[in-house]
Amino acid sequence: MTQIRVRPYSFRHAEMLRQSGLHPVLARIFAARGIQDAGQLSTELKALIPPQNLLNIDKAAQFLADAIASKKKIVIVADYDCDGATACAVGLRGLRMLGANVDFIVPNRFEYGYGLTPEIVELTVREKSPDIILTVDNGIASIEGVACANTLGVQVLITDHHLPAASLPNAAVIVNPNQVNCPFPSKNLAGVGVMFYVLLALRAEQRLRGLFAANEQPKLDVLLDLVALGTVADVVKLDENNRILVAQGLKRMRAGRMHVGLAALFRVAGREPKQASPFDLGFALGPRLNAAGRLADMALGIECLMSDDEGRAWQIAQELNSINAERKDIEREMQDVALLHLDQFKADDTHTITVFDETWHQGVIGIVASRLKDKFFRPTITFAPGDEGIIKGSGRSIPGFHLRDALDLVSKRAPQLILKFGGHAMAAGLSIRASDFQTFQMHFEEVAKEWLNTDQLERVIETDGALEEAYCTTDFIALIDSQVWGQGFAPPLFCDEFRLISQRILKERHLKMVLEKNGQRYDAIWFGHTDQFGEKIRVAFRLDANEYQGVTKVQLMVEHVEALGST
């Protein structure tokens, strides 16, 4: 069951925003997202929360400044997703700009697992001989790995944003906005954002030490295109601070001042950098980088981000594009198998979905979990086989169900059941024994029954209500597209009643419609749906400027349709 609901907003705040010079529709849209004054919409770098607010940031800056002064070798241990890859590239480029001797390693996820494991520490020491290991986008749960590094005489600096457990690793320094007692107001920094902040603090420390004057210091803003990509691709909440980071990165992309690897990814994805949007980052560039970590080796993705050679970057981008095409094929097959497993699934009878198949690929189960969660609107975990009787799960959740906390509760109730877990509210991963699958399924379902009521299991589509016909224009679409939208700051979604003039199926997969309201006709398309409707319908839609044969027209991108009956 799906409900369409109009977002409430403060008329007073909307009017204040309008009086400050904002478009009247944008004013009410921003008010519905909690914006109270125009200052909250600032995307200037000076509006960023200062680094000093991050717990241990000064200690980390001093630690790194000392390491650079002592010519110690730093090795970055990166995570294997887009956030980890961009955080690694930001760390490498930024630290080198600031004089560091720095290298990186991104181990194969299928051989060495997630986080700074003892095996990864031993591999890093064997292959890279570091004095210091710097983790990016991982490490907060790596108690054993840090202990191993300490035993081997290697210091560890952890930069992460994942939620910590009750115990922390015994690292030299930990920078994570989500650790206890960290006063940083935004808890939504991605791993790449945390690394960028560490670089800002390090540069300030070196400035204090007299290494350079403010007007001569390395310009770290050149890294913001990478920061924007990792932030959007990791689907963290775009709060005020993250919107600044993303807006500044997009500004560089649109001006053509991005790293050549990003330019190559735009080109191979068929996207235009001059109109770069968060959608491009999240659905075109991000998946191509993520595909390397899912199916191959994320070192390839990092090389793309690190390359300053246009020819080499283009060659890697094409390779990443091919890997992503393979990922899509695998995903489609796995999704078909998942739906077969769920053939008898009745949503009313259960609060969760847990599925395991012997043939599934570890690198793609997270995407399949996301697709199933979207289809059935239930917290979903999909499992694939690992080594020696272990299966690995990747989960996605719905609003109101904190996935990592749910796994923590299952672990407390059945201490030997989950071998390893970690993550966020909306996404998490875990490992269990294959023989314990049904036991885990039962415990996970029990937690969901306790935490979720019937209303929470109904999908709610929040809209911004009707849009006046005068604003169904390409100029208004350009105005919307110039803003930064994303997770937690949803792009405008309008809703209205229409008369359905015609409907036809495209490529056996998509519904193409012509809609009419007050004598005005609109082209509309609903991707991935083939339902047929009567004459009168309610439609939730986004605006899109569709260019065809040199003519740009407004098109409605349909998100949901409700039948209202024929007149």
pLDDT averaged over 10-residue windows placed end to end, the chain, 567 residues: 90 97 97 95 95 97 98 95 96 98 87 85 96 97 96 98 93 97 96 98 97 95 98 95 98 97 98 95 95 89 97 98 94 91 81 95 92 93 93 95 96 95 90 97 97 92 96 95 93 97 93 96 94 95 89 94 76
Is residue 94 within 8 Å of residue 196, measured between CB atoms?
yes
The Cα–Cα gap between 129 and 133 comes to 10
The Cα–Cα gap between 129 and 5 comes to 57
The Cα–Cα gap between 117 and 144 comes to 7
Residue 211: its H or E element: none
pLDDT in the model for residue 567: 45
Length of the chain: 567
pLDDT in the model for residue 238: 96
List of E strands, 324-458: 353-356, 380-385, 390-396, 418-423, 427-433
The residues near 481 (Cβ < 8 Å, ≥ 6 apart) are 275, 277
CA 144 to chain centre: 27
Is residue 220 within 8 Å of residue 466, measured between CB atoms?
no
Is residue 165 within 8 Å of residue 141, measured between CB atoms?
yes
pLDDT in the model for residue 296: 83
Q: How many other C-beta atoms lie within 10 A of the C-beta of residue 367?
A: 21
**C-alpha to C-alpha distances, 276 to 92, 198, 484, 543, nearest whole angstrom:** 25, 27, 11, 17
The Cα–Cα gap between 546 and 513 comes to 14
Domains present along the chain, CATH in parentheses = 50-320 (3.90.1640.30), 342-457 (3.10.310.30), 460-563 (2.40.50.460)
Is residue 90 within 8 Å of residue 227, measured between CB atoms?
yes
Is residue 522 within 8 Å of residue 516, measured between CB atoms?
yes
The Cα–Cα gap between 141 and 159 comes to 12
The residues near 179 (Cβ < 8 Å, ≥ 6 apart) are 55, 140, 164, 168
Kindly give the residue spans of alpha helices, DSSP state H, lying in 342-436. Answer: 365-376, 403-413
The Cα–Cα gap between 43 and 277 comes to 15
pLDDT in the model for residue 6: 95
Q: How many other C-beta atoms lie within 10 A of the C-beta of residue 560?
A: 18
